Every structure is written in structure tokens, then in C-alpha cells.
């Protein structure tokens, strides 16, 4: 095996390991984005309306 082939093999191993370790982080980020979207909708639809009602009173 030449040096280039060894470097490519090592690079592939690192890429696979990195990809596997990043996947849970990507899932966590996606989950946090979904939760933030839900929180934003609650703020926009419920809390703002409650504040408007309080201001009118």
C-alpha cells in the first residue's frame, strides 16, 4: 500500500467515526429547533393575546 492509499484509508476511518459521533448532536439540534418553534407559537398565540387582554382592562 502506498502512502496515499494509507492516508485515504485513515481519512475514511476518521470521516466515518466523526459522522457517527455527530449524528446524535444533529438530532439534538433538530429537537431543540422543533421545541423552540413550539415555544414561539405559544408565545405568539397565547401569551400575546393574554397581554392584549390585560392592556385593554
Provide the grid cell at 27. 438530532
pLDDT, residue 22, reads 97
Provide the grid cell at 23. 449524528
Contacts for 9 with CB less than 8 Å, ≥ 6 apart: 1
Mean pLDDT of the chain: 92
Provide the grid cell at 5. 492509499
Where do the H-state alpha helices sit in 3-42? Answer: 3-42
Provide the grid cell at 45. 398565540
Q: Is the pTM of this model over 0.85?
A: no
Distance CA 18, CA 13 (A): 9
Amino acid at each position: 500500500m502506498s502512502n496515499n492509499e494509507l492516508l485515504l484509508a485513515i481519512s475514511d476511518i476518521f470521516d466515518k467515526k466523526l459522522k457517527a459521533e455527530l449524528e446524535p448532536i444533529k438530532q439534538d439540534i433538530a429537537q431543540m429547533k422543533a421545541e423552540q418553534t413550539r415555544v414561539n407559537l405559544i408565545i405568539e398565540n397565547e401569551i400575546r393575546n393574554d397581554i392584549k387582554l390585560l392592556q385593554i382592562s
